[in-house]
């Protein structure tokens, strides 16, 4: 129970990695404010958190809307009195060739993945500074942001590269407040969003899903993709006491796909 009685806020928490991170933090003792644009999936995650014996609150919010972000943080503080850990997980993508990316694709992806992460991070920092007790900000980036060739599209890779860069700068500027800022860079992870991306790849290439899965696994040195719980385990570590002197880093969790 290394996070006992800590208060965490997780965005994009309704499914996939966000749900796994919420439950991982709860298992480590944290109470969790669960946010997602889909209130029904957020409610499901909150119920699961409560079944682990922790407190939870549902905060429907669109991470591309600054008013929603501000309301989300105010409601989390109203419910729990403070926030100790913020995990910026919400993200969007779809499979697109570089020649097929349209302006609306770029804007949709960067609205959530880059703008949303920045303003969530900024808003979290304001509360953490005001509280005066330090804290942890964990941004979910991607190995796509480090140039992984198997990315879903160039706009997504650019948005995740932005997350890594923002993580570095925030860590430099927030360290004096004892606020640690780190990023996690997942590789191939078994989520609904990844399945949707693979379906798009299958349609374009003519390969079956099974063929694509086998090719994916063959590229991974360790031979298997992530489960969402693999990302959750890293998030729990970065939120915990063992990571108190780690900041400004972007950790790959990818079975060895990218080794830098």
pLDDT digits (tens, 9 = 90+) for 133-154: 999 999 999 999 999 998 999 9
Query: Which pLDDT does position 195 carry in this prediction?
Result: 87
The model's pLDDT over 92-131, given as tens digits with 9 standing for 90+, comes to 999 999 999 999 999 999 999 999 999 999 999 999 999 9
DSSP calls for the chain: -TTTT-EEEESSTTSHHHHHHHHHHHHTT-EEEEEESSHHHHHHHHHHHHHTT--EEEEE--TT-HHHHHHHHHHHHHHHS---EEEE---------GGG--HHHHHHHHIIIIIIHHHHHHHHHHHHHHHTS-EEEEEE--GGGGT-TT-S-HHHHHHHHHHHHHHHHHHHHHGGGTEEEEEEEE-SB-SHHHHHHHHHHHHHH---HHHHHHHHHHHSTTSSPBPHHHHHHHHHHHHSGGGTT--S-EEEESTTS---
Question: How many domains is the chain partitioned into structurally?
Answer: 1
Residues 39-70: tens digit of each pLDDT = 999 999 999 999 999 999 999 999 999 999 99
Quick check: is 215 in a domain?
A: no
Residue 73 in domain = yes
Q: Which range, of 72-81, 136-145, 169-178, 204-213, averages the lowest pLDDT?
A: 204-213
Residue 203 has pLDDT above 90, yes or no: no
User: Does residue 198 surpass a pLDDT of 90?
Assistant: no
Residue 204 in any domain: the answer is: no
Range(s) of the domain holding residue 32: 7-188+227-252
Residue 1 counted as domain residue: no
Mean pLDDT of the chain: 96
210 lies in a domain? no
| Catalytic machinery residues | 156
- Let me know if residue 81 belongs to a domain: yes
pLDDT confidence band for 187 (50 / 70 / 90) = very high
In a domain, 197, yes or no: no
pLDDT tens digits, one per residue of 143-185: 999 999 989 999 999 999 999 999 999 999 999 999 999 999 9
Percentage of the chain exceeding pLDDT 70: 100
Q: What is the structure's pLDDT at 192?
A: 87
Residue 2 in any domain: the answer is no
Task: Provide the CATH number for the domain around residue 242.
Answer: 3.40.50.720
Q: With bands split at pLDDT 50, 70 and 90, how would you rate the model's confidence at 260?
A: confident
């Amino acid at each position: 129970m290394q996070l006992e009685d800590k208060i965490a806020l997780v965005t994009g928490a309704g499914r996939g990695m966000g749900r796994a991170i919420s439950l991982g933090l709860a298992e480590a003792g944290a109470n969790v404010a669960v946010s997602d644009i889909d209130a029904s999936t957020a409610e499901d995650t909150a119920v699961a958190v409560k079944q682990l014996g922790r407190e939870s609150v549902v905060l429907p919010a669109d991470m591309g809307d600054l008013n929603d972000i501000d309301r989300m943080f105010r409601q989390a503080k109203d419910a729990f009195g403070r926030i100790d850990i913020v995990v910026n997980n919400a993200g969007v993508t779809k499979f697109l060739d570089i020649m097929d990316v349209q302006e609306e694709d770029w804007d949709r992806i960067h609205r959530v993945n880059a703008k949303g992460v920045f303003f969530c991070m900024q808003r979290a920092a304001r509360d953490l500074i005001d509280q005066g007790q330090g804290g942890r900000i964990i941004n979910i980036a991607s190995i796509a942001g480090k140039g992984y060739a198997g990315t879903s599209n160039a706009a997504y890779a650019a948005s995740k590269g932005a997350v890594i860069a923002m993580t570095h700068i925030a860590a430099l500027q927030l360290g004096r407040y004892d606020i640690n800022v780190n990023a996690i860079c997942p590789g191939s992870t078994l989520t609904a969003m990844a399945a949707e991306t693979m379906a798009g790849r299958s349609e374009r290439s003519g390969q079956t899903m099974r063929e694509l899965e086998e090719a994916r696994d063959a590229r991974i040195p360790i031979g298997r993709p992530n489960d969402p719980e693999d990302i959750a385990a890293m998030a729990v570590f970065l939120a915990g006491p063992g990571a108190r002197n780690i900041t400004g880093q972007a950790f790959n969790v990818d079975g060895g796909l990218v080794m830098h």
